[in-house]
Structure 1
Amino acid sequence: MLTRALTPAPLSGPGPCLLVSLSTWTWSGTDPVGQDVAHILLAHPPGRSGRDAPEAIASRMRHIAASLGGLAGSRGSLPELDGRLHVVGDRVLLKFHGSRYGLRLPMYPGWTSLLARRGRAVLIVGLDPLPQSADAARVDAYIDAAPAAGRLLFGLARTP
């Protein structure tokens, strides 16, 4: 008979297979007070097998959110995610707790310049699938629909 509680294994960060499968988008937008801020959206593409059921995808994306330091729903204040973004020249890397791997983000000069100037980006993790081929209109529709169902998690990622 078990007489003591087992200590859970420490949370390990996402592996390279999960990171390379993610769909990512970056854009410049404004914050609630009208200041320019960089935005990042991470989503999982639609599944191709039974192991990629919607709840399995949502579980993977919650793991991503936890590995970033914990994200919040749309109703609370944004958690500060210090040191998650690293700008090296014209490249931006998103780092995860518990993982030696990072995610190179898609960028363009205006977005990278805004991130370097402000030192932060609104980070959005979607729990529902979104294809990597989604255009701006589809991404906008995804972002508009998901908060009502509590399917987006938010944080404020910062450079070191």
Structure 2
Amino acid sequence: MPEYMRQNLTFMLALIFSAACGAAGTINEDAHRMHAIRIIIGEAIITATLDDTPSSRDFIAQLPLNIDLKDYASTEKIAYLPHKLSTTNAPPGIDPQIGDITYYAPWGNLAIFYQDFGYSQGLIRLGRITAGLEHLSYPGAKSAKVELATGH
């Protein structure tokens, strides 16, 4: 590829990326708004994005949040939230993927999947871990802070 085409491509990609990133903590992808968060466990930082849904917006309204992430069934880390989240427009359930951040409406808890799991009635996807999933491979419980990420 000629140098002038490579420079134009680099410029266009930079322009697209800058247009995709909005205010601090917000990423616009395909006209779908997402919110960047951090989960801090000791010195470890897990980054994630949350979808723009009524459930996720309710979760964001509770941030920053200090929680105890407890192991559940060697599959997920769970934590109870101070307030239940909206289930407006939520599907009846989902089949979570590894790295999904979800809300289990029947119990009112956050559930972050680090192992594969099947369909669960009442499970709502809030978002997805983008980096640091390996920091959830501990036994027992650990304190964590969940906050909106600032800047890109």
Q: How high is the TM-score relative to the length of structure 2? A: 0.31
For the pair shown, the structure with the greater C-alpha radius of gyration is 2
- Greater percentage in strand: 2
Q: TM-score, normalised by structure 1?
A: 0.30
